[in-house]
Amino acid sequence: MNDSASHSRQTAETKLKELKRRLLEISDLNAAGSVLSWDQATYMPDGGAAARGRQGAVLRRLAHERLIDPELGRLLDELRPYAESLPADSDDARLIRVAHRDFDKAVKLPAEFVARANEHGAASYDAWTRARPANDFAAMRPFLEKTIEISREYANYYAPYEHIADPMVDDADEGMTTALIRNLFDALRAELVPMVRAIADQPPADDSCLRVSFAETEQLSFSRDVVGRLGYDFNRGRLDKTLHPFCTKFAADDVRITTRVRDNDLGDAMFSTIHEAGHALYELGVSADLEGTPLGSGTSSGVHESQSRLWENVVARSLPFWAHFYPELQRTFPDQFTSVPLDTFYRAINKVERSLIRTDADEVTYNLHVMLRFELELNLLEGKLRVQDLPEAWRAGMQSALGVTPPDDRDGCLQDVHWYSGWIGGSFQSYTIGNILSAQFYAAAVKAHPDIPREVGNGSFGTLHAWLRENIYRHGRKFPPNELIARATGTPMSMEPYLGYLRTKYGALYRLPAQAS
Ligand code: ZN
């Protein structure tokens, strides 16, 4: 290396250090904001709400100001040639790419718009918390109309795009587009609708064993024990109660989960806890080298959801899993389960039914709930569907997809918080992408280690956890989702493993239509 090359490398390294210092500060401000939100959703007395809203907004503003600081943009520009000189797979080259992407996205939004959108989101959410219980869609109409306007305005800051929802889809699931998802959903729907119809024609599974009374303390301790055995490290996390379960990260060694407990629904706390623990395992598995940078968390919403669902559904709703854990559950709840055979319990936790509420839906019908929302939000954004016609479009969509019609809007188009938090578009597709990927990742892990299912039956999850850590978790956001999927599984995203999983599992539980081939 000659003198000037060595000098410019040194300058670049100094600049990279400065970049990381700035990014760490942004990450710390965001983490502090997360601590405030976690507290608000767990222990904060109601009286704290107004001050907490203000404090959270201050932190968000500071983080945003630092993210759009022109000095940061200059650093990133100056580092571009250096990034290109590094091996394409190096952490630093990828860090500069992702930081650039975040910066470019953030600077396109005027500060005035961000403030206006946040304010609207808070007002809309607040109104929804009253309108849903009151079954008052009319009260939400003006809010939703404005939400659509704001979302369209947001998309237009990223024009040109092929479809107005593309910028929102790309925020959550980089590399995905509305057109790709529509194709994927059409193909999946064609398989799922006959499957659901065939199952619905048969006698329903009896899940009454899950609907008796279960003491909260035992529900929580059993859930805590299970997620600990899956690999969730309570020295680096904790479990608390909340209204709507979530997982949140404050640092590489502090990733927390929350759950809720219903006295007469054993599955709620247990599977919510396992679901959130799946998100947490992902975050806890990100390489320590990436901490405090934009690479230090999961790569996309869809891939994140694949990890929660892999543990919740593919592992913890499987027969081998319960062959191991059921005796323990029976000891925890002897009055409720001593006389219930394992097979009855297994059928109960995998009961398929046409229901009204997405969050309560089983694995088979769940995606139909998602597809309905995705179609409707596209129609709203495209201007093909007027807000006033949404309740009717919802009822018609439920009837055609699932064969049930909600009796009111509370359990219809008002049920999910997503559209009433200030944005519409780009958030529902991740759930179905997550389902599809959960099976694809699991199949790849089993292909590499055929012993995994037997180990799960012994209550041992180390090999599976290690494969996920090695192929997915440790990379954080270093690789965009499509690249990560191809590296981990050898193929692009494919719904075949997922369909194969559903056919095998539900074919054993119900008679399914013969496959057209
Ligand atoms: Zn989730």
The pLDDT tens digits for 412-466 are 999 999 999 999 999 999 999 999 999 999 999 999 999 999 999 999 999 999 9
What is the distance of C-alpha 424 from the center of its chain?
16
Pairing of β 254-259 and β 239-241: parallel
Residue 245 Cα, ligand 1 centroid: separation in angstroms? Answer: 9
DSSP string, 264-280: TBHHHHHHHHHHHHHHH
**Torsional sign, CA 284, 289, 292, 298:** negative
Q: Which residue has the tokens 């009896």?
A: 206
Number of residues in the chain: 517
Cα(246) to ligand 1 centroid in Å equals 7
Interval between CA 383 and ligand 1 midpoint (Å)? 30
Direct distance between the N- and C-terminal alpha carbons of the chain, in angstroms, rounded to an integer: 62
pLDDT on residue 8: 78
Q: Quick one: which of 481, 493, 509, 485 has its CA closest to 300? A: 481
Q: Report the separation in Å between the CA atom of 226 and the middle of ligand 1, taken as the mean of its atom positions.
A: 18
Band of pLDDT at residue 1, cut at 50, 70 and 90: low
Q: Is a pLDDT exceeding 50 seen at residue 140?
A: yes
Query: Prior bond to 160 cis, omega within 30?
Result: yes
Domain spans in the chain, listed from the N-terminal domain onward: 3-131, 178-510
CB-based contacts of 33: which residues, under 8 Å, 6+ apart? 56, 59, 60, 63
Percent of the chain whose predicted confidence (pLDDT) is above 90: 93
Is residue 2 predicted with pLDDT exceeding 70? no
Q: What pairs with residue 239 in β-bridges? A: 257
Q: Please give the backbone phi and psi of residue 505, each rounded to the nearest 5 degrees, phi first.
A: -65, -50
CA-to-CA distance for 283 and 40, rounded, in angstroms?
A: 21
Q: Is 416 helix (H, G, I), strand (E, B) or coil?
A: coil
- Smallest CA-to-CA distance from 152 within 113, 111, 101 is with 113
Give the sign of the dihedral formed by CA 337, CA 339, CA 342, CA 343.
Answer: negative
User: What are the φ/ψ torsions at residue 507 (nearest 5 degrees)?
Assistant: -65, -30
CA of residue 457 to ligand 1 center, whole Å: 25
- Per-residue model confidence (pLDDT) at position 269: 97
For residues 203-208, give the mean pLDDT. 95
pLDDT given for residue 9 in this prediction: 76
Give the distance (Å) from ligand 1 centre to CA of residue 515: 31
Please state at what angle helix 429-448 crosses helix 496-509, rounded to 10 degrees.
Answer: 90
- Candidates 383, 453, 478; CA nearest to 424 is 383
| Ligand 1 centroid from CA 453, angstroms | 23
* Chain-centroid distance, C-alpha 237: 19
Burial class (CB in 10 A: 0-12, 13-18, 19+), 384: exposed
* CA 279 to ligand 1 center in whole angstroms: 7
Over pLDDT 70: what percentage of the chain?
A: 99
Q: Which of 138, 110, 106, 142 is nearest to 123 (CA)?
A: 142
Distance CA 499, CA 504 (A): 9
Residue 390, token pair as written in the block: 């949404």
Mean of pLDDT values over 9-25: 94
Q: How far is the CA of 276 from the centre of ligand 1 (A)?
A: 6
On whether the CB atoms of residues 255 and 247 are closer than 8 A, the answer is yes
Centre of ligand 1 from the C-alpha of residue 202, in Å: 30
Give residue for tokens 């640092």. 251
Mean pLDDT of the chain: 96
pLDDT value at residue 111? 86
Instruction: Answer for the pair 335, 513: CB distance below 8 angstroms, yes or no.
Output: no
Please check whether residue 349 is in contact with residue 267, taking contact to mean a CB–CB distance below 8 angstroms.
yes
- What pLDDT does 517 receive? 45
pTM: 0.95
CATH of segment(s) 178-510 = 1.10.1370.30
Could you report the per-residue pLDDT of 402-426, keeping only the tens digit for each? 999 999 999 999 999 999 999 999 9
What's the pLDDT tens digit per position in 467-509? Answer: 999 999 999 999 999 999 999 999 999 999 999 999 999 999 9
Q: Round to whole Å and give the CA distance between 434 and 117.
A: 28
As a whole number, mean pLDDT of residues 197-222 equals 96
State the distance from the centre of ligand 1 to the C-alpha of 88, rounded, in angstroms: 31
CA dihedral 299, 301, 306, 312 (to 10 degrees): 120
- pLDDT for 46-97, tens place per residue? 899 889 989 998 999 999 999 999 999 999 999 999 999 999 999 999 999 9
Torsion angle defined by CA atoms of residues 33, 34, 36 and 37, in that order, rounded to the nearest 10 degrees: 120
Protein residues near ligand 1, an ion, with CB under 5 A: 308
Q: pLDDT digit string (tens) for 223-275? A: 999 999 999 999 999 999 999 999 999 999 999 999 999 999 999 999 999 99
CA of 224 to the centre of ligand 1 (A): 18
Give residues with Cβ within 8 angstroms of 417, minimum separation 6: 125, 128, 244
Q: Please write the tens of the pLDDT for every residue from 116-128.
A: 998 899 899 999 9
Nearest to 476, CA basis, from 254, 248, 289, 255 = 289
Give the CB-side neighbour count of residue 126, counting CA atoms within 13 A. Answer: 9
Tell me the CA–centroid distance for residue 305 and ligand 1, in Å: 5
Tens digit of each residue's pLDDT (9 = 90 or more) over 305-339: 999 999 999 999 999 999 999 999 999 999 999 99
CA of 40 to the centre of ligand 1 (A): 20
What pLDDT is attached to residue 10? 75
Catalytic residues: 276
Q: What pLDDT, on the 0 to 100 scale, is given for residue 4?
A: 72
Phi/psi at 52 (5° precision): -65, -40
Residue 433: how many other CB atoms lie within 10 Å: 28
* pLDDT, average across residues 344-373: 96
CA distances for 346 relative to 69, 188, 358, 395, angstroms: 54, 25, 21, 32
The whole-number average pLDDT for the span 131-159 is 98
Tell me how far apart the alpha carbons of residues 164 and 379 are, in angstroms, rounded to a whole number.
Answer: 10
